[in-house]
Chains A and B, each alone.
Chain A
Amino acid sequence: MALAAACSDPHPQSTFDTHGPVAASQANIFYIIMYAGLVVFIGVMALLIYTTIRYRRRYNDKDPEQIHGNNTLEIAWTVAPALLLVAVAVPTIQTLWNNSISPEPAAMTVHATGSQWWFEFEIEELGVVTANELHIPVGEVINFVLESTDVIHSFWVPKLAGKVDMVPNNTNTTWFKADEAGEFFGQCAEFCGESHANMRFKVVAESREDFDAWVAAQLADSVVPVDPLVQQGHDLFMSIEAGCWACHTIRGSANAFGQVGPDLTHFASRRHLASGIMENNHENLVRWLTDPNDVKPGNVMSRDAAVYNDPDQALSEPQVAALAAYLRSLE
């Protein structure tokens, strides 16, 4: 249901359509300064338009009086804007400080890590590691610790909170809370290289029960394959030839403990693939596995994996089908 609602949302990253207290407070400040700005703009334009029309040169105009200035007026338009600015600065700074620390104890701390071009989410206290799709309980404060493994990224879910950068060698923190259930779009907001545009993620806010169920499912080991095609895909994944295991973790498997790419233990449970840029279905997965560089130009897998950077070792169509079947089995 939540998914259906999100899909029909015509503005999935609107900063006006807020669903959490942080984003709401920021929108509030924006409205204050926007209306103040609008009043100033209308006032200045009215004065400008009146002046330019009223004092247009007329036939046989004489030289106008050579006025050099007026101290009273100039003091007035120095002091008045200064007072207006003080008036808008006060709520801004209040909000800035209010948002700097969460007002209530957090339900959990999520370590969010940016890499070119995907997000990892680790909930240490629960033992959950996932990628590009974070589930959170509705109405509870979530703290975030933000880091980066390579270049600067920025963590941003417009409907829940403004962005905070993920800076290598620096640790930043932020927090947000979702007031209601739904799927919220997130996107990297700091230019981070070739596929910056393709670095997205989703936050799924759900009831406490649904969230607990999700955590329980995430904690389980991967299922053992039964279907022969799935078995074939599993074997390929774990083979020296394809080498997927070298970079990806699939908990419960014999040798897939790679740390470079996203954890795939519950890959099939995610709604999107390739860091939130397309729906996680069979066709898209086949497209991704066949030519990841076409989907997300410059990505590390197509650069470093032999099956993608060496045409002689490219995956055949049946191999892709088997791999897709295996990955889609990882509920």
Chain B
Amino acid sequence: MTSLSVPMIKRPVHPVGAWGWITTIDHKKIGIMYGITAFINFLIGGIEAIIMRAQLSGSNADIVSPEVFNQLFTMHGTTMIFLAVMPLGAAFFNYLIPLQIGARDVAFPRLNAFSYWVFLAGTLMLHLSWFMGEAPNAGWFAYAPLTSTAFNPGHGVDFWIVSLQVLGIASLAAAFNFIVTIINMRAPGMHMMRLPLFTWMTLITAILLVLAFPVITVALLELLFDRNYGMNFFFTAAGGDPVLWQHLFWVFGHPEVYILILPAMGIVSEILPTFSKKPLFGYSTVILAGVIIAFMGWLVWSHHMFTVGLGPIPNTVFTITTIAIAVPTGIKIFNWIFTIWKGSVEFRTPMLFAVGFIVTFTIGGISGVMHAMSASDAQQQDTYFVVAHFHYVLFGGAIMGIFGALYYWFPKYSGKMYNEGQGKTHFWLMFIGQNLTFFPMHFLGMDGMPRRIYTYGADMGWTEVNALQTAGSIVIVLSVLVFMKNFIQSWRSGKQAPGDPWDARTLEWSISSPPPEYNFEEIPIVQDRDDWWARKRGLVPRIAPSGASGDGHGIHMPQPSFWPLVAAIGIFVGAWGVIYSVPVLIIGAGIMIFGVYAWSFEPVNDPESEASTASGDAN
């Protein structure tokens, strides 16, 4: 087999420095790269938001042109959803899933690396559209026929299509990987109803991804063909149906919402038990509620289309299915509160974020039910009320959860302790700032302010509320700056973290911080849902683990590889080719095929390398 591998560049065996990161297939390093890239995207999306808030701070403001404003809200939405919240979730899937299930890596380590590099390619594609002077401008749901070449010449929408396709590849690769990992790589005794909640929510999210992305892939392909090869799916002048796009988009788009929020629900379900020193209240109910939410997420897409004119029958059906989702969501909220009930509650920063999540997510959930009332939603659809709603669930929900996770697992992934005082300052600034920014949007919406308008007259009565919201957004900026200061300083020079600083319950806390490359010196034998807690408290008998023990010698870890990166570069080049030139597309496809070919024939470990027998030494 080795004769088939490509010998030009030597197999990286003990890469160090940048090369070590570029060729890594260690899920922990990939998780960190995911996290940092996604956080930078979060900052970029935030800057886009702040420019919009500046433009809207007063009536008839003239800070950006309408065209740029339209690009800003399109890019803000696309960036935050696909480049920030989803991959921030993926960062934690990567880092934590093997640790939580007692595995040494994911099922397909190189596919994992490939997933990251393709994600980076999609990220670069989308952001580079700004520098090509053609940022997408049709909104994050890109309603046809505004996206057709007749109304949208240039390459902005093509950038959007191609970036999302590329990101879809990354998401699918990761999703398959995590499904297989969670099903197949669990430590002995870690049966499904002992999985930590975060792992459960990851599994559900990954299944949603696998089912939802094909739908958007089809829609995007159709749009791409409409725009570039003269097809007529959505081109109305030739008889295309714009409502078809809306159905396709939201059949994907609503499960996507749960793809964004379920990981945060998993995170909260980890933090609350730890800082209450109690197991999660109604473990199986919370899982079942997650499964039901994910399933019902497929039955509600038309609530995004209550004003499209589908008629009273579909609107009735989708009203009922949508409000039904409030039931499993409510179950989760009550189970979380009763996890705290009779606990011993310690308000460290992650706990503040988790409890803050319950508050803001409850508001977002209630305004969601308000939107579900199709009769009255005709007044709220496409107004600032809906902007308020989805910022409560995505910022107040997903982002709050993710910040909670960034603090909660900080000792684990950095090996250091963060500064508690600054963490709490961050929480309070962010909590106040987001409520100041997003709560008044409810009133603006009911006062008739449509979303996505770049300007409004002084006679509309919206000026003061908008100014207040802009002030709130500055408080959010301050909170993020506090976080970044804390994060960078603590990682550089924080106190050394012990393996289990929180007296936590799940397996990732049973190993050192940061974990060794091979995670578990000995694969644990799981005897309890909260196995680490049970072991610490002596509630389960000590069973001698299987396999080798000692200092990590004899643990076989796959060696690094650069072929996933090569394949991803091919996809990046090819994606440019889709937009600008067919020969470039062919070159890109060639690079990708070459990368995948070489990767396929690359052995897990180089047999000529002495390290193949003791790569546990490598750190």
Contacts and interface: CB of A to CB of B under 8 A. Distances in A.
Contacts of B377: 162
A64 B344 contact: yes
Given A30-B370, A298-B67, A57 B323 contact: no
A77 B331 contact: yes
Interface string A28-40: 0110011001001
A122 B309 CA distance: 20
Interface in A245-287: 277
A61 B452 CA distance: 52
Nearest to B238: A169
A191 B66 contact: no
A181 interface: no
Most buried by A among B316, B335, B341, B457: B341
Interface stretch (A85-93, A127-135, A218-226, A321-329): A85-93
A16 interface: yes
Contact of A69 (B70, B282, B369, B461): B282
Nearest to B308: A165
B281 interface: yes
A55 B345 contact: yes
B362 A64 contact: no
Contacts of A96: 312, 315-316, 319, 374-375
Given A82-B327, A164-B309, A151 B146 contact: yes
A188 interface: yes
Main secondary structure of the interface of A (DSSP, over half): mixed
Contacts of A61: 344
A13 B449 contact: yes
B447 A11 contact: yes
A164 B311 CA distance: 11
B600 interface: no
A51 to B, nearest CB: 5
B601 interface: no
Contacts of A195: 66
B336 to A, nearest CB: 9
Contact of B381 (A25, A33, A57, A189): A189
Nearest to B336: A48
B324 interface: yes
B345 A85 contact: no
B65 interface: yes
B279 A66 contact: yes
Interface string A94-115: 0111011000000000000000
Interface stretch (B98-106, B115-123, B240-248): B240-248
Most buried by B among A7, A10, A63: A63
A119 to B, nearest CB: 15
A52 B376 contact: no
Given A15-B446, A85-B326, A169-B236, A41 B375 contact: no
Contacts of B425: none
Interface string A175-188: 00000000001011
A77 B341 contact: no
Contacts of A57: 277, 344-346
B431 interface: no
21 contacts: A10-B461, A12-B448, A13-B460, A25-B375, A27-B376, A57-B344, A67-B341, A67-B342, A74-B334, A88-B373, A116-B151, A146-B309, A150-B150, A154-B382, A156-B450, A162-B377, A164-B307, A189-B383, A190-B307, A191-B452, A297-B66
Q: Sort A-B residue pairs by CB-CB distance and give the 4 closest, nearest first.
A: A13-B448, A162-B378, A197-B453, A172-B309
Given A13-B460, A70-B338, 14 more contacts: A12-B460, A14-B447, A37-B370, A48-B340, A51-B337, A57-B344, A64-B277, A64-B343, A89-B319, A161-B378, A165-B307, A196-B450, A197-B66, A297-B65
Interface of A: 7, 10-16, 23, 25-27, 29-30, 33-34, 37, 40-41, 44-45, 47-48, 51-52, 55-58, 61-70, 73-74, 77-78, 81-82, 85, 88-89, 92-93, 95-97, 99-100, 116, 146, 150-152, 154, 156, 158, 161-165, 167-170, 172-173, 185, 187-198, 277, 297-298
